[in-house]
């Protein structure tokens, strides 16, 4: 399978790539801004699993059509079978302190960047005949879920991603592209620790990554347009 993972330089994205690389039948394209971390990930995948993943330094908030490295990698594959949209940003500020730049960066990373990348790879998703888009969202984006001070921009952007998932699932089904959303609760990642430094999450990044990989491979046959809460706890 051909698999693309964004936000692959740390946390969940990093561990998702490691999990997928356990099978050498998987051709993985790992995308992130931190090239040094991508090099480290590439080395680890090869040393541990003899899987030479492809890495692309790319800021998802920038124009995808001007990233030659990404375009060249995509030229080499006919299909994208799984797309894990994991790249995200969390700016922890109270509403009155959020600048227009904060709002713009949050939505550019969590909403508009994924939209543009999905548009770019859509023909290859279509060529798959049975593709699966998995958007990684948050419990905070769900209606009537517990909300937290300082996370208005983040939660609003994740709510947009949730609604987008449902809309894409409806439109894409005619091309056999399935789209689902996993809304995560407390996961022990660097991003979570930065937002909630005094809270110890029970689920590790490696644990949730195994679930994400399993879900993306096995359950596209059973789910489409679903928003699935994945949470043992919230802060």
Q: Looking at the domain assignment, is residue 119 inside a domain?
A: yes
Counted domains in the chain: 1
- Helix ranges restricted to H, the chain: 11-20, 35-49, 68-75, 100-107, 113-128, 152-172, 190-195, 205-218
Within-domain flag for 235: no
Report if residue 87 sits inside a domain.
yes
Residue 118 lies in a domain: yes
Identify any residues that bridge with 3 across adjacent strands, giving them in sequence order.
28, 82
DSSP characters over 145-164? S---TT-HHHHHHHHHHHHH
Inside any domain, residue 97:
yes
- Distance between CA atoms of residues 215 and 181, nearest Å: 11
**Low pLDDT (below 70) residues in the chain:** 232-235
Longest pairwise C-alpha distance within the chain: 50
**pLDDT, position 234:** 58
This prediction's pTM: 0.94
Q: How far apart are CA 81 and CA 2, in angstroms?
A: 5
Residue at 204 is within a domain = yes
pLDDT of the residue at 5: 99
13 belongs to a structural domain: yes
Work out the number of other CB atoms within 10 angstroms of the CB of residue 86.
Answer: 24
Domain that includes residue 56, residue range? 2-230
Is 141 contained in some domain? Answer: yes
Helix (H) or strand (E) holding 137: strand 131-138
| CATH code of 67's domain | 3.40.50.720
């Amino acid at each position: 399978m051909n698999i693309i993972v964004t936000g692959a330089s740390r946390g969940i994205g990093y561990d998702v790539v490691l999990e997928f690389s356990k099978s050498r039948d998987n051709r993985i394209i790992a995308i992130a801004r931190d090239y040094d971390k991508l090099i480290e990930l590439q080395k680890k995948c090869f040393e541990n699993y003899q899987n030479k993943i492809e890495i692309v330094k790319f800021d998802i908030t920038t124009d995808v059509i001007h990233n030659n490295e990404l375009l060249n990698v995509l030229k080499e594959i006919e299909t994208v079978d799984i797309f894990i949209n994991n790249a995200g940003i969390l700016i922890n500020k109270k509403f009155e302190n959020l600048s227009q730049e904060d709002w713009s960066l949050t939505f550019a990373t969590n909403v508009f960047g994924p939209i543009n990348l999905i548009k770019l790879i859509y023909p290859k998703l279509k060529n798959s005949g049975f593709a699966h888009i998995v958007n990684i969202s948050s419990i905070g984006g769900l209606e009537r879920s517990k909300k937290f001070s300082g996370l208005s921009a983040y939660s609003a952007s994740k709510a947009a991603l949730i609604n987008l998932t449902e809309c894409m699932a409806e439109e894409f089904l005619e091309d056999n592209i399935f789209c689902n959303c996993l809304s995560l609760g407390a996961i022990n990642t660097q991003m979570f620790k930065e937002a909630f430094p005094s809270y110890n999450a029970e689920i590790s990044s490696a644990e949730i990554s195994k679930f994400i990989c399993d879900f993306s491979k096995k359950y596209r046959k059973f789910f489409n347009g679903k928003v699935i809460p994945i949470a043992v706890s919230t802060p």
